[in-house]
Structure 1
């Protein structure tokens, strides 16, 4: 199935009679260390959504490029939405697809920040109350990868611009990878909100980029596609128990 932005009105009108599932990729414009592009999160989510759409009858929607970036908000290049902006944006987009006949929606986030994901889930919960026949899933690429990558990932707690994301960019967009970076595992104080976030996370890396390779990126993507297809198949047949 082509990605949605490639489709004509007539093609969509015909196919939506039988294809009622849409993947909505979202990400961020955010620093990813000294070596990866600012669009890494969105590029990852789009590549995964498009790969799934080529293998099963679902729509891959155009991405939402901006997200809520809290920990990296002081790093050069990071542009963040407010929580209420992201909340409203997700609600409007999902509602728009619902009115176009979609009854199954997967919000797939390439950005896995805690506040960002909580906002997506909260928006999804409200949509579920509004539309009684809407099936909705919210997950990040890291949620998918926690099980799918166990046999591939070497670095414990690798999460940002490290082994996984560097491998994926070497596979997907090698022309935008600028060398590598040192391993880093920053530490923020528990529970205390800090103003000068970059002082706790100077490199913008969380993991080990030096363990990355393009071949590993290919394998990570393939494992992610398989896992996401399983989730979508479950979503399409999901039925809540009667209260």
Structure 2
């Protein structure tokens, strides 16, 4: 007769009771908060990419080390994507206040460390840097901003085959093929090249030499792409996605373990 498997410890807050949370807090004081957006991602990817990715990566992290996983923040700062239907956007001020309040409330019941897993990276980085500063200075929470692209950038540079991956292209499509292949419509994927030249210090590439802060408007995005993506999603593969996800998870596990050992 085989021994019954030990049930996995709960980590998804939405599936836990308050007593489950109370017990979990005896082992961890770290909260992973997936922060995304609901916006257009071309012909081949769903609107929820920026929320799906950090939530799934956060789930893998929480399986490996002591951490709790919050429900995703589904609405973000996406005014540049409103040229296609289905995109939601909120103001910078609303977004920052909302995320700060979410994390501060977790601090009231025992969370000491918060990691904001940013799936809407590049565009939403400035807002979340300010959120982290506010949480640390005014709420006593040890907060971190983790843009997914920063976590997998080194691996992405090694495995990429496309020249440009700016939005809904090689990197995001590969990750979605690994995590949610049933939501990817590769038969509709289309390469869209940006202009041959960009301004100095401003590349149309997630790994580019973007040395100055800049942003695209909805009108500018509409001129750049008829599909909604910029770059070549046709070169994406699940194998590339697995490597990118593994890099992100490994980095985050290291951070969580260090925080819990403090």
User: If the length of structure 2 is used for normalisation, what is the TM-score?
Assistant: 0.82
Counterparts of 2:115 and 2:54 in 1: how far apart (Å)?
12
- CA drift of 1:7 comes to 1.3
Structure 1 segments unaligned to the other structure (5+ residues):
239-243
Q: Which runs of 4+ in 1 moved over 4 A?
A: 187-195, 234-238
Contact kept? 2:135, 2:142, Cα under 8 Å: no
Deviates more, 1:64-73 or 1:214-223: 214-223
1:144 aligns with 2:151: yes
The size of the alignment, in residue pairs, is 236
Tell me: CA distance 1:19–1:193, structure 2 relative to 1, closer, same or farther (3 Å): closer
- Aligned in 2, Cα 1:192/1:94: closer, same or farther, shift over 3 Å? closer
Match of 1:125 among 126, 133, 136: 133
Q: Cα 1:21–1:182, aligned 2, differ >3 Å: closer, same or farther?
A: same
Displacement of 1:157 after TM fit?
Answer: 4.2
2:104 counterpart (75, 95, 99): 95
Q: Does 1:220 align with 2:228?
A: no
8, 11, 28: which one aligns with 1:19: 28
**Structure 2 unaligned residues grouped into runs of 5+:** 1-8, 203-213
Conserved? CA contact 1:170–1:177, under 8 Å: yes
Aligned twin of 2:49 = 40
SS of residue in 2 equivalent to 1:98: helix
Pairwise CA RMSD: 2.2
TM-score by length of 1: 0.88
1:36-115 to 2 correspondence within 5 Å?
36-114=45-123
Q: How does 1:182-221 map to 2 (within 5 A)?
A: 182-187=190-195, 194=217, 196-197=219-220, 198-221=222-245
